Amino acid sequence: GGRKRSSRARFPVAYPQVCAGFLSSRRLHLLRRSISALVKHFEEHEADIPYELVWVDNDSGEEAMSIYKEFDFERVALYKINYGATHGLNTLIFDLCSRSEYVMTMEEDWEWKEDKTHIPIVSMAIQVLREDKVVVGVLFREELDYKAELTDWMTTSDGIEYRRHCMKVDSMGWGAWTNGAAIWKRKFLEEKVGRQNEDWGDGAELEYAQRVGRRGCAAQIRVVEGCETTSCNSVARHIGETATGQLQ
């Protein structure tokens, strides 16, 4: 066969530090863009991070196999029926990504921004996660910042600026978790928070956000000087059919 359109310099990776985990259902044209942009980012700007590429798909039919052949995946789970996003995320974080210390949760409609791809944000995030015991994850996506209790800006030993996003007591529990583009202390989730509850249906993400928020905070890293919000600090953008430039 010919060279894959998106091959990796190191593959397969036996001892990954980061699991780049993708979750999709049917919208494979978006998934292709998302994976391509992230692999390009890792290969060109985070080459020293041993990462594994993992994918869980629900119900995308035959076309899923063409995606499988296009990229260098360590592990995939392609389900013929749709078990839902919560089951998919649990499979990703706690089963397929179990070799990695950190897990990136990427739904198929989050794409790395071209003008931010040069920023070694994953390495920066790992430093924040290592140095700040309260922080359990770093947001890569735009968020509704007012949903969280924000601290003042803080600095790591290497001068990386970040602020914590903690759970507001009265905010229904958002602020410390998102299923979208972010990186998490995987073992912390496994040992201290547990799996998402599939019985909650559409409420599972919120219920999980409350559980995570009781244990720690998320963080945003400042990548643009003077930027105060995730809208200018985010490195991934929403590309779903419903994305109109406004957050859904």
Q: Tell me which residue range forms the domain holding 208.
A: 18-238
What SS3 class is residue 150? Answer: strand
pLDDT in tens, 46-60: 999 999 999 999 999
> Considering the entire predicted model, what is its pTM?
0.93
In a domain, 232, yes or no: yes
User: Is the residue at 154 inside a domain?
Assistant: yes
Residue 158: which CATH number? 3.90.550.10
What sign results for the dihedral spanned by CA atoms 88, 92, 93, 94? Answer: positive
Q: Specify if 13 maps to a domain.
A: no
Residue 210, classed as helix, strand or coil, is helix
Q: Is residue 119 part of a domain?
A: yes
pLDDT in tens, 195-247: 999 999 889 999 999 999 999 999 999 999 999 999 999 999 999 865 444 43
Does 4 map to a domain?
no
Percent of the chain scoring above 70 in pLDDT: 94
Instruction: With respect to residue 247, please indicate whether it lies within any of the assigned structural domains.
Output: no
Residue 174 has pLDDT above 60, yes or no: yes
Cα separation, 92 vs 48, in Å, equals: 23
Domain count along the chain: 1
Please write the tens of the pLDDT for every residue from 183-195: 999 999 999 999 9
Q: Does residue 171 register a pLDDT over 90?
A: no
What is residue 189's DSSP assignment?
Answer: I
In a domain, 243, yes or no: no
Residue 1 within a domain: no
Residues 185, 97 contacting (CB under 8 angstroms): no
